[in-house]
């Protein structure tokens, strides 16, 4: 199970939503680049970035800081938020060297764009984000309902050639109540080729183990944000005590 740390950026700062509401946020750092370097020092193998301003407004708003992150780490970076047209996708892939782009809203409103990306870059360069609320896909930064279920959307994307999705129940985001295992199983059991990255709700090792115990090779990775920032995993105490000697890093207090 590959663990992917998440850096959500709003107004140039690292933050995390609670229950998918933009008015309820936790800010963790004024310097996303330092956080990216920290995760790299902690030996993570991949990094996910979301431009939250872009997710709502439809165009990337934090491009400069994201560009600096990409220059600062030597691991694959996947990026989502505000990718609504082919030109933006092309710029991100070719100028930033992004490993994978994550598209959500545009996959519903502009499926031809998804097909064009697949034709130009293959399925290895694109992931579809499926954000759910009450068995309905939500779009535009989790504001609008798309009137399609997560499973229907997953099947639609699989049929046009997508091979990986990121699934999350937005009501679990930021509250560390665990992943929506039943929905993850439903999508895994009713699709043929999709790989699934779980996101949202992971708060500790026991909940992480729940995903592993799904015991389906399609569910092969998980994205974690708040639990990492707040040091909810015992191994982090070792990492953070060592790294605290580096005064350039603004580290959260280690939980014991």
What positions carry a catalytic annotation?
8, 131
Which token pair is 32? 């996303």
Residues forming a β-bridge with 138: 145
88 with 61: CB under 8 angstroms? no
The DSSP 8-state label assigned to residue 239 in this structure reads: H
Give the three-class secondary structure for 137.
strand
What is the SS3 assignment for 67?
A: helix
The H or E element spanning position 80 is: strand 77-80
- Tell me if 49 sits within 8 A of 43, measured CB to CB: no
Triad 173, 192, 160: Cα angle to 5°: 80
Measure Cα distances from 240 to 68, 200, 256 in Å.
23, 23, 12
**How far apart (Å, rounded) are the C-alpha atoms in residues 35 and 172?**
23
- In three-state secondary structure terms, 138 is strand
Buried b (16+ CB within 10 A) or exposed e, 44-65: bebbbbbbbbbbbebebbbbeb
What is the Cα–Cα distance from 156 to 170, expressed in whole angstroms? 21
């Amino acid at each position: 199970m590959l663990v992917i740390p998440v850096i959500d950026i709003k107004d140039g700062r690292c933050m995390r939503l609670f229950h998918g509401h933009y008015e309820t946020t936790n800010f963790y750092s004024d310097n996303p680049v330092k956080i990216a370097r920290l995760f790299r020092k902690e030996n993570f193998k991949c990094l996910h970035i979301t431009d939250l301003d872009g997710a709502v407004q439809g165009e990337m708003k934090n491009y400069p800081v994201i560009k600096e992150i990409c220059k600062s780490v030597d691991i694959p970076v996947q990026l989502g938020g505000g990718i609504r047209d082919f030109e933006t996708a092309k710029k991100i892939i070719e100028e930033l060297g992004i490993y994978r782009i994550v598209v959500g809203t545009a996959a519903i409103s502009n499926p031809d764009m998804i097909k064009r990306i697949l034709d130009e870059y293959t399925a290895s360069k694109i992931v579809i984000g499926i954000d759910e609320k009450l068995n309905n896909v939500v779009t535009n930064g989790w504001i609008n309902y798309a009137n399609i279920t997560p499973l229907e959307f997953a099947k639609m994307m699989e049929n046009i050639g997508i091979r990986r999705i990121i699934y999350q129940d937005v009501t679990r985001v930021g509250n560390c109540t665990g992943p929506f295992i039943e929905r993850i199983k439903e999508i895994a059991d009713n699709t043929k080729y999709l790989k699934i990255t779980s996101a949202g709700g992971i708060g500790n090792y026991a909940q992480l183990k729940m995903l592993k115990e799904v015991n389906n090779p399609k569910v092969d990775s998980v994205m974690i944000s708040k639990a990492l920032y707040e040091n909810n995993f015992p191994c982090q105490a070792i990492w953070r005590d060592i790294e605290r000697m580096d005064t350039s890093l603004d580290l959260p207090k280690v939980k014991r």
